[in-house]
Amino acid sequence: REAWDYLERGGKRCVLVCHRRWGKDDLALHRTAVALHERVGTYWHMLPEYGQGRKAIWNAINAHTGKRRIDEAFPLELRKRTLDDEMMIEFKNGSIWQVVGSDRYDSLVGAGVAGVIFSEWSLANPAAWAFIAPMLEENNGWAVFIYTARGRNHGWSMYDRAMKDDGWFGLRQPANETGVFRPEALDAALKDYVALYGPDDGQALF
């Protein structure tokens, strides 16, 4: 709710470092659905690899409802057309939403994008932000970085920046703080990881 409220108030830079199954992509998809009706523009949902976007977002089905995630976030009644080959939706109000990959960021340069979701940011090509940031700055656009921690890489640095900069919003929620998983399930998972990968790597993966 904190993240949603921040973006709804016009926040421009949001970093969410949260555990698996937290609902990061779902929050991002539904917030984008609102944003693209508040302001007509182009919006991207970026995965580390273009092909990954089709599996994780475009074709993904919500296990709790049995419906495609994009159909839940972007009802057919709001759409003008849906282009499967390009993983793109054009809306009746003129906005465009598209799944893209950070592995192809060069092909995205020059677009007048209004908002970008950087999904699995800790695994993405960090150069993508360097090229996309100026476009967002020029267009007064927003960026949301959603991911789980993967060591002291660019994801770590981005979260650190968010926590120190008043113009950014940062949130970190590990699995033992949200109630998504039962405590006994977390304990069992930790034991499994440590047994399989050793104490250091097991703790890190957990």
Question: pLDDT (tens digit, 9 = 90+) per residue, 59-107?
Answer: 999 888 999 999 999 999 999 999 999 999 999 999 999 999 999 877 7
Q: How far apart are CA 14 and CA 163, in angstroms?
A: 10
Q: Where are the alpha helices (DSSP H) in the chain?
A: 2-8, 24-38, 50-53, 69-73, 127-139, 154-164, 183-197, 199-205
pTM above 0.75, yes or no: yes
